[in-house]
Amino acid sequence: MNGAADEPYSVRNESPRAGPAESLLGTVISGRYRIERLLGEGGMGAVYQAEHTHMRKRLAVKVLHAEMSRLPEVVARFEREAMAAAHIDHPNVATATDFGKLEDGSFFLVLEYVEGKSLRDAIALGPLAVGRVMRILRQIAAALQRAHALGIVHRDLKPENVMLIDRDGEPDFVKVLDFGIAKVPVAELSRDEENKSGPAGQALTQLGMVYGTPEYMAPEQALGQNVTPSADIYALGVMTYEMLAGERPFDHESKVTLLGMHVTAPVPPFAQKAPGVVIPRDVEGVVFHMLEKEAAQRYKDAKDLLDALDAIWSASYGAIPSANPGSTAAHRASLVNAREALGSHPDAAPPPPYIASPLNEAVPTGLQRRVLPAALRENPRVLLFAGLGAMVLIGAIFLIAMLSGSHEKPGEANAADAASSEPAAAEPAGSRDPGLDAQVAAAMDLVDKGDAMMAIEKLTALEKEHPERADIHRVLQKAYTATRNHRDAMREAELWLDADITAIDDLKFDEDVRNAAVGRDRDVADHAFALLEKKMKSAGPDILYDIAYGPSSPQLRASADRAKSSLTKPSVRALASASLAVTLELRSATGCDRKRVLLPRAGSVGDARTAALLRTYNGTYGCGFLGVKSCAAYPCLVRDGALGRTIAEIEARGQAQP
């Protein structure tokens, strides 16, 4: 585990601490680095501010204590950090420029000097504005993309290892530090053989060994399993959750219990951890996708994550900042545009539209999200008056129900009163039993705290006695999912649906069914597809479409092909919403004329999925002799501007982003 010895360096307004590390102050090491002051010290070594005597450049020098330099594994780890930092040539990574050994046997590492504050210090002030989080997250992802492309996995991402500095007009310019326990393909980077002797050729970690920080550790990392770039994605997901909510999704004084929570406990919704914070659904979807328990269900690496972030950014806010930030005018302009769209640094409120984020097929949240009517999104006052009107209507219904109830015969039930007094979803199926309600609530609390097995034990007998209770099936479905028992989770999902169809409004339920459908267990996938095709109403075809044509479909080819086949079934199409139905018809229509016939209906009921498909039909000129012919696959669609008008009509209704 990383301890105080590995805290990243940062500039703080404090006097240097006295101790053994001060013996280097004022000396020149390796003939060119003058040690000026101590920045920090831990059990393994110390970090100094230094100046290159010839170039007059400020640097940071990390020095292992002499006694640590006699431990081969510590030296190997230190050399790994040097090699990783030297090879990841990226503006958002603190680079290493030199590595060597002092006369007393101590090893030293020369690093880029980073003057700023850590992300930990920023989070300590409370939740960060969503726009600011997006800017920081995207830069960390860009740094990791470069590392992952080189086969390097950081393995210890945490707020302490991210510095925020002011550079080129960006007050939150990111620098990722400390690749001390990184998984590095040493033989490839050093061009040496894998069986080379000495620190560089040694394998620092073995299967079953656990390295990292428990608060940010991926489940497979906590279990000592093979670590891939997806482990960095999970750690970054925890950090993003913490930036948005002001606290981590999991915390416990016992590190063993904390690791267990990462492995089995469901991620608590933001509404539970930070009730007053408003998170866009697309952003929330990305965070929960990063925090999937199974590595295969997350973004496979930082490039996939960056693609998702760019899709959200471009769909909602316009221009995407440069992937290689620098001092160029274009980059500065992109930052200005981003701050105007996302809210000025540091704590501006997140920009609209956050009542309902845009549907965007390119955003791999796992599901197509439902949105409010365009009139409500475009004019918040409409939403206010709609809410007041709904309150008046509910009051009127309640008054009528009370008056009509006074004329009922004893024992008669008033259906209107029963329907309007309390939402059906709040009432567990079956007769109300306060004692039983309390037991179910206690079991759900166990699941939330990471003890899903105990919840299953408590509810198994109750389920047999009360099979009609939807809330029991709900808790068991979540508990079995948390313990990765996907077969029983799908069984409970179906029982939950049978008892209460509103289960499909639970986004986590929909996500669990989708994940089961694309999983490796054939029986579980069969069960999930049966639910999607027959029992989940319009939500089923929506999820099938996401599997078939969503951004993750190339990586899920077999599942995508199966979902496409499902969507051809008349029984499945009969469940589809009007917007999805016309989108599917456009996909299946053969010939340009048949597609053109569908354009009026697409303009009337289509959504973002429809618009995204239509854009693929839009071609430019430059084909044929002298480049005067249209390159469009379906020329009749672009004739007379029909295709453009249809897309514009969808956008005008607020169902798609331009």
Question: Would you please indicate which residues are annotated as catalytic (active-site) residues?
Answer: 156
CA distance 583 to 598: 9
CA distance 98 to 108: 8
Would you say 62 is a known binding-site residue?
A: yes
Backbone angles phi, psi at 561, to 5 degrees: -65, -40
Backbone angles phi, psi at 256, to 5 degrees: -65, -45
346: preceding bond cis by omega (within 30 degrees): yes
The answer to whether the beta carbons of residues 536 and 571 sit under 8 Å apart is no
CA distance 389 to 383: 10
The alpha carbon of residue 169 and the mean position of all alpha carbons in its chain are separated, in whole angstroms, by: 27
**Which among 187, 195, 191, 198 is positioned nearest to 76, based on CA atoms?**
198
CA angle at residue 24 from 22 to 29, to 5 degrees? 160
What is the b/e burial string over 561-587, where b = at least 16 CB atoms within 10 angstroms of the residue's CB?
A: ebbbebbeeeebbebbbebbbbbbbbb
**Which among 123, 284, 302 is positioned nearest to 215, based on CA atoms?**
123
CA distance 653 to 603: 9
Residue 615 Cα distances to 370, 377, 537, 645, angstroms: 21, 24, 28, 12
- Running DSSP on this structure, what letter comes out for residue 205? -
CA distance 356 to 368: 12
CA distance 333 to 67: 51
Backbone angles phi, psi at 126, to 5 degrees: 120, 175
**Which among 34, 41, 33 is positioned nearest to 16, based on CA atoms?**
41
How many of the other CB atoms lie within 10 Å of CB of 445? Answer: 12
> What is residue 92's three-state secondary structure?
coil
H or E segment at 57? strand 57-64
Residues 6 or more apart whose Cβ sits within 8 Å of residue 61 = 29, 33, 35, 47, 48, 49, 50, 108, 109, 110, 111
Annotated binding site: 62
Annotated binding site for ATP: 62
